[in-house]
Structure formats: C-alpha cells, structure tokens
Structure 1
Amino acid sequence: MHVSAGSGQPPAGPDWVVELAWTGHRCIAYVDPTREPGKRVRLLSANAVSMTATYPELAEPLERHSPPRGMVLDGTVVARGEEHAPRARRLAKRSGLHRPSEAHIRSVPVDYQVCDLLWLDGHSTLDLPYRDRRALLDGLGFDTAPVWSTSPLPLSELDTMLRIAEAKGVDALHARHLGARYRPGGRSPLWVKVPVPRVRQVVVGGWTPTDVRRPDTIASLLLGIPDGAGGLRYVGRVGVTGEERRRLSVLVRRRRPLSPFSGTVPDDVARHAVWVAPELVGEVEFTGFAANGRLRLPRWLGLVDRAERLDPADLHGPAAASARWARPEPPSTDLTPPAEPQPEPDARGEPEPEPEPEAAPPPPRKAESPRRLEQHFVYNALNTIAALIRTDPMRARELLFGFADLSRAADQPGDSRTRLSTELDAVRGYLALEQARFGARLQVEIDVPQELHGLSVSPMALIDAVRAAVQRDIEPLPEGGLLKVTAVRVGAGAELHVRAGDRDPVVVTAVPLGATV
C-alpha cells in the first residue's frame, strides 16, 4: 500500500513543499500495540516483502511512539553514513541479511525516515490533505535516530534545498502539494521527484562511433576523471549532438592506439572505442554517481576553455565538493590527496613571499597558519549542523558552539598570541565537525597535560596543522585513520606534535605567555 512520486521539473505555487529524496529502501511500517510482543511491528517493502527481521532495531522506537490503537507510516530505510548522507552500498550490507547479528547492526546502523502517515489510532488518514497528515506525523515526536520524520521546506526554499542536496550527495528532491490526498497504487501528479542537477569537469578519453565502418564519426564521448594516482578513471559515456560533433572533430588528431584509462572499461564500450590522448576537458551535467562509479544521466555541455579548467588534481579533489563541482561516492581505489594550500594574502592584500628552499628539509616540519577558514569548509560545516538539527539537536548545538570557537580563533590577528587552552577548544570544535562528516573513519586522540594549557601559541597554528593532517593523510583513505595530538615539555615551553598515520609529526611551539617567540 503505497503511492509513488512522478518525475519532472519543480512545480510552482505557494502550496508546495520540498524535501530530500533519500536513497534507500521504501518501507511501510505497520504498528499495532494490541498484538502480542514480538509481532507488534511489521515492515514491508514497496513490493510487500517483509523487512521486519532485517531491521529489528526499528521495532522498539516505533512501538514506543505509537498511539494505543496503532499507526501506519510511509518512509525510507537508509544507511546512516558520513554527513548523514545516503549510502546505498552501505545499506546493501544490511539488506541482504535476514537476521543480522548485533555486530552487523552496530557496524551498519540504519535510520527510518518517515515522510507520511496513513493510519493513526484506529482511523485512516488517507483522505486527509497532506498538510493535515504532516501535522499529525510531526505530533508523534519522531526526532531522534533511528526513527525520525523528514523536514520539508516551502517551495520558496528550493534553492536552499538544492544546495543541501548537492553538498550531501542526494540525487533528487521530493515536491509535494499540501492539499494532496494519499492514493495508494499509482503515481501522483501532486508528488513530484525533482532531480538535483550537478555540473563538473571531465576529461575526454575517447569516443564510440555512430558506425563502426566509419570510425571518425562520433556518437558518444568516453569520459574520465583523475584517479589520484596519475591515472584516469572511466566514469561513463555521454552522447553528443550533430553540431557538437563538428566542434569535436579536433579529437581525430589526438587518436592513440591504447586506452588512456587506468582501470577497465566495459567490454561493450571498449569493443569499438577510438582512444584519444586525454588532453581535452569538458563539462557535463548529471544527477549523481551510480554505485559502480558511473555518471548518472549525463548531458554534455561542451568543451572548457583552457583558462577555465580546474587543475587536474582538483577534478576529483576538494574543488569537486563546492557548489559547482559534485564529489562522487568513490570506490575504494579512488584516492586523491587535496591540493596544496596556496599562499594567503598579507595585510596589504599581496601574497606572502615563498620561503627560500633549503639544502635539506629540517625535521620536524613547522606548521604555518592560514589565519582564515576556507569557504568550502564553512559551507560543509553549516550543512552538517543543519542536517543534525532534527536528528540530533543536542549534538547540533555542541557542533555550533565548536564552530563558534573555531571562528573566533580564525579572526585573531596572525601576529598575536593565544592561550593553548583556547586553541585546543577550537581544535576540538573542528575535529567534532569532521567526525560528524567522516563518522568512524576519523579517530582522534588528544593528550596535552593540563599544566601546559596556560602556554601560548600563534592563532590557528595548531588548528592548521590538524586540518592539514586530516585532509592529506586521513580524508583520502577509504578506511580513514587515527589523528594524534600530543605534547612534550621543552624548557619553560612545549612542543605540540600532530601526527596522522606513519608520517613524521608536524610540530607547533608553545611558550609562556609574554615570552618572545
């Protein structure tokens, strides 16, 4: 018993709301507290297949929130992943287990995100308008994991929802009319699935011809992105129009005998492919990445002028996480280190001079302070906090306080000094935000004795060393890693060591307040 969303462009008018269309398993939850224990909750898929035994952790919170004569809910089971974004491959690890062990439940926790209410306390709600069903649903108090109600916003906030969806890797939105009744068994024109458009740069690695007897005729382009190890990862193909084929005739002069892609290309694609040197960069619009790493519904936008191209390292690095470049959910072999930081402007607005090269790098390396927060980090941090406001409001509050500590540290003049205790508060705020995004992939140990907290450090020096270690040595690894911050007393001051993995530590010097550095 369910109704499906149609597909199309966002509707218009004040009587519509939009929410994230989560990737997971559609689930109708039947709760009847009058039945014997163990049989009070039933979870059925859209095809009426039982999922009750697969997700046993959902039974208790559903039963606890149910009125005496039961309820029926419509929602989606999703894997709880980094940044609370949908992780289809994580969910597959649970969906195939009929009776998961406690270890499986802990390793792949799930959420049931409720979007509608079909029955409440002995009465059908199908004929109520959505606005009334929604009010009744919100009154049930599903505001903590693993069961919580979704958060629709007015259609006037569509741009905000699109930005959140892009940042979190969600492929579509659901637009629903506030006056719609729930009509099981078909698609409703008053419930529309709206794809989230994304645009990114890709490298052209070849083409498939319209006719194998005429290999110079281009039917579709074979696309790739750098894999972080000096190669090019195949991400799919895209068709081109007749006019665009004429513009792409320059590819003929770039033919080469072997594939430029570092991994495998599907046999049906490679069989008649014409390979080219990976020199031309274009833009595609798409709706996300499939589980196999391929672009979903790509549309070719054209070649990119050389002056507008991203650096090759950024085609799959931090720049891809901005509002314009979408980051895919990569396979475990897709490891791309972040781009090296650029010199920051000084007080006159001019870049600081590069240090003179030394004959040999002196151990240990010294940390430098950027004295500001990167825009994409601020964007991701605020979106992470926003996503937690409904699911875990206390944690969202703590992250907001930590973000405030971090912002205050970044606002201090670079030539000033700050107490180590203040800097450590900002470090903890930063790491809490990153742990909300990375989950168990980021482990943290901070061991700085209390007697050293009164020393002073340069503002952002320790934070910058920690951020660099996370971005360079932990974020690119599918399994993540452990970050350690320790302290060693040196005379009246101390050395703070920031270490991730097997790398040599970055050292930040702390001195007594008022002492000359």
Structure 2
Amino acid sequence: MRTMLRPMLATPGAHVPPGEEWVHEVKWDGIRLLGDSPSGGTQTRLTTRNDNDATPAWPEIATGPERDVVVDGEVIALNDSGLPDFRVLMDRMHNRDVRKAARFAVTRPATYMVFDLLRLDGRLLVEEPWSERRRLLEALHADGELGSWQVPAVYDDGRMLHEVTKAQGLEGIVAKRRHSRYRPGERSKDWVKLAHRYRASLVVGGWRPETGTAGGTERIGAVLVGQPTPDGLIYRGRVGSGIGGRMAARLRGLLRETARSPFAGPDVDPDGGVPREDVRGTHWVEPLLVVEVETHGTAVAAASYKGRLRQPSFIGIRDDVSPEDL
C-alpha cells in the first residue's frame, strides 16, 4: 500500500545547537528522495519533495528491500576527489530514458543514504520520536534488510562534526532533536541545517553583460574567474550573484579588455578550459584584478566537480592582493 508523504524540512541555523538533546548528521550534497517499498516484491517508488516520480532515473536504487517500508534519504554520487557532489547527478536527475539510466548506473553510480524511517510493515512512525525511528532503522540495516541502501552514522559531538565536515569539503551538517516527531512537508526548528560556505581569492579573466541591458554601455552582470597555477590561469567559474550597480561600474573601470582568453587551455573545452556556454558573449580581460568569492564546496582546492565553483557569490575586490600573491 502506497502512503503519500512529503519530506520534513530543516530550518537554516547560524551555530551548532548545544546540549544532549541534539544529535548530528552529515549534510549530503545530493538529491532528497523518499523511498516507498511496499511488501510483496513491488518495485520501490522514489519521489521528490513535490511528489514527482523519480524512480526511472535510479535503477540501482529502485531495487530496494522487500520489507514494507517508507524511508527518507538522499541520493549521492562522488566526484573525482571522492566527495559527494550534486553536479555529478545533474545529467541523471531529469533523465527518464530506461536505457540511458542503466548506462548511468554503471558510469556514474549513485548511493541512497537513508536517514529516517517513516513506515514499517504498514505502521506509520511519524508520531514516534526520532530516537525510536532511528533505532528501528539501524536494526533493519544491521539485519541486511535494506539491501544496497546505506544508513550513515550520527554523532553526539556537533561541533566536532561541523569542523571535520568543513575541513573535508563536505556540504555541512544537520542537527536533530532526539525527541522530534516527523512533520511531513513542514519546515521544523527541531531540525537545523548548517551549510558550509568557503571564501577564495580569484583572478578575473572575463566579464559578461547583464541580460537585458538597454541603451549605450553594457553593464557587467557576471565575471569569469580563475586560479593562478604553474600551468596558467585555471578556469573556476562564472560569478554573478552579489554584483550590484555600483560594483558593476567599479569593475568596468578596473578591467582592461583583451582579444584573447587569459585562461589556460582552449577557449572552448568543457574538460579543462572555459565551457561553451560561458564563452558566448564574454569580454576577455587581462588577468590583473583579484576578487573575493564565496562558494559552497572547496572548489579552488579541486574538491568539487571539475574544480568549478558551486552557487558562488561576489564579495568584493581585493586591492591588497595581486595575482602573483595567489
């Protein structure tokens, strides 16, 4: 029997909640899915936060347990640095072609990290405290009844986990009250998420005009940034968020345009240089200006997919640092 449930959502937090009433988990950089596996050998149904059927995209996960369960978890895949990375999943998440999904399952395998148990053998558990749901989930996993699904560890020391996940380039942590009930579809203060953001100093190598710029002079809408290395300026991504009108004007006055791309590699090379979608409409500039950027994931340390920034935002211009200093 299928049960329609929606994932419970965490509230963003500014610090790790203290005290023994809290338990802490790794925040995975993946895709949140509910897994509904009714008894009788019926195929598991995987659904998104909006109750859309995502089952065809994940054949290696949809062969779930034969036990009657509904679980909450996150689908993850590892990048070349061995870290969970949402971008590795991007080509898979919208695919519904069965043959292509089977190929992806081999070339870009995913893992289902299950962190909550909402139904067991026809019994809804949403009114049970987190501690009881977790006990039952761990028992299922220990008995091998979850198949290939994984149950990640939980930790009592939230500060330690916060520091370790930041040092390792993971997305963050989630703190949960031990007595918390599961509130389907609600954002609860009983769950608190803390995502890591990282800052990096990078060099501007180009800029793109703001979409819909009218009149004479084009206004900067985004800058293309890179990291100086012995092999040249390595492209790290495009940054538009955080560039307001005054900053756009200031940047325009500091950037010196040039005819060729200053980034290492060919102008169009998705595996090394600037990808085609970022080349189109770009004004190349001499790599002289250093800017500060904030991003999810340690992309500059090559701890993300192809070393690219994820959800970056522009912080400001570094007048005190030169490209040679980097």
With normalisation by structure 2, the TM-score equals: 0.70
Give me the whole-angstrom Cα distance separating, in 2, the residues matched to 1:217 and 1:203. 19
Counterpart in the other structure of 2:165: 164
| Shift, 1:182, TM fit | 0.9
Amino acid of the structure 2 residue aligned with 1:21: K
Q: In the alignment, which residue of structure 2 is the partner of 1:7? A: 12
Q: 1:59 deviation in Å?
A: 5.2
1:306-317 maps to which residues of 2 (within 5 A)? 306=321, 311=326
Aligned residues: 296
Q: 1:260 to 1:130 in 2, by over 3 A?
A: same
Moved more, 235-244 or 119-128: 235-244
Measured after TM superposition, the shift of residue 196 of structure 1 is 0.8
Residue 58 to residue 296, structure 1, CA distance change in 2 (3 Å): closer
The aligned counterpart of 1:279 is 288
For 2:245 and 2:43, how far apart are their aligned partners in 1?
60
1:256 equivalent to 2:248? Answer: no
1:283–1:302 CA contact under 8 A, matched in 2 = yes
Letter in 1 for 2:29: T
Q: More relative contact order in 1 or in 2 (CA 8 Å, sep 6+)?
A: 2
**1:223 alignment partner in structure 2:** 225
CA distance in 1, matches of 2:119, 2:22: 23
What displacement does 1:183 show?
A: 1.0
Q: Contact 2:131/2:179 (CA < 8 Å) preserved in 1?
A: yes
Deviations 1:63-97 (A, max 9, x none): 2xx3xxx2211111222555652243443454425
1:218 Cα deviation from its structure 2 partner = 7.8
Give the Å deviation of 1:114: 0.4
Separation (CA, whole Å) in 2 of partners of 1:49 and 1:209: 36
Q: Which sections of structure 2, spanning at least 5 residues, go unmatched?
A: 264-273
**Which position in structure 2 is the counterpart of 1:482?**
none
The aligned runs of 1:51-200 (5 Å cut-off) are 51-58=54-61, 62-63=65-66, 66=67, 70-82=68-80, 84-95=82-93, 96-100=95-99, 104-141=104-141, 146-154=148-156, 156-167=157-168, 169-200=169-200
Call closer, same or farther: CA 1:252–1:190 in 2, change over 3 Å: same
One-letter amino acid of the structure 2 residue matched with residue 88 of structure 1:
F
Larger radius of gyration: 1
* 3-state secondary structure, aligned to 1:139: helix
- Please state which structure has a larger fraction of its residues in helix: 1
Partner residue of 1:235 out of 217, 234, 237: 237
SS at match of 2:61: helix
CA contact (8 A) 1:80 1:111 kept: no
The alignment yields a C-alpha RMSD, in angstroms, of 4.1
Q: What is the distance in 2 between the residues matched to 1:269 and 1:159?
A: 46
SS of the aligned residue for 2:114 comes to: strand
User: Secondary structure, in 3 states, of the residue corresponding to 2:257?
Assistant: coil
- Which amino acid in 2 is paired with 1:10? H
Cα distance change of structure 1 residues 276 and 80 upon mapping to structure 2, 3 Å threshold: closer
- Report the counterpart of residue 320 of structure 1 in structure 2: none
1:419-452 Cα shifts (integer Å, max 9, x gaps): xxxxxxxxxxxxxxxxxxxxxxxxxxxxxxxxxx
Q: Distance in 2 between matches of 1:177 and 1:254?
A: 50
CA pair 255-212 structure 1, distance change in 2 beyond 3 A: farther
Deviation at 1:109, TM superposition (A): 2.4
Distance 1:56 1:278, change over 3 A: closer
In structure 2, the CA distance between the partners of 1:269 and 1:187, relative to structure 1 (3 Å rule), is farther
Shift of residue 139 of structure 1? 1.9
How far apart are residue 104 of structure 1 and its match? 4.7
Deviation at 1:126, TM superposition (A): 0.5
Aligned to 1:486: none
C-alpha offsets along residues 26-68 of structure 1, whole Å, 9 cap, x if unaligned? 22122232x2x3x1533333333334444344355522xx3xx
Identity over the aligned pairs, expressed in percent? Answer: 26
Change (3 A) 1:307 1:230: closer
Map 1:15-30 to 2 at 5 A.
15-30=21-36
SS in structure 1 at match of 2:158: helix
Change in Cα spacing, 1:51 to 1:228, as seen in structure 2 (3 Å) is farther
Normalised by the length of structure 1, the TM-score is: 0.47
> What do residues 128-151 of structure 1 show as CA deviations (whole Å, max 9, x unaligned)?
222222222222226898311122
Assess, with a 3 A threshold, how the Cα gap between structure 1 residues 19 and 165 changes in structure 2: closer, same or farther: farther
Deviates more, 1:19-28 or 1:140-149: 140-149
Q: Deviations over 1:352-379 (max 9, x none)?
A: xxxxxxxxxxxxxxxxxxxxxxxxxxxx
Preserved CA contact (<8 Å) 2:16 2:158: no
Decide whether aligned partners of structure 1 residues 267 and 56 sit closer, same or farther in structure 2, where only a CA change above 3 A counts. Answer: closer
Partner of residue 31, structure 1: 37
Q: What is the match of residue 312 of structure 2?
A: 297
User: How far apart, CA to CA, are the structure 2 residues paired with 1:80 and 1:216?
Assistant: 40
Q: Secondary structure at the match of 1:134?
A: helix
SS in 1 for 2:227: strand
Residue 296 of structure 1 and its aligned partner are, at CA, apart by 1.4
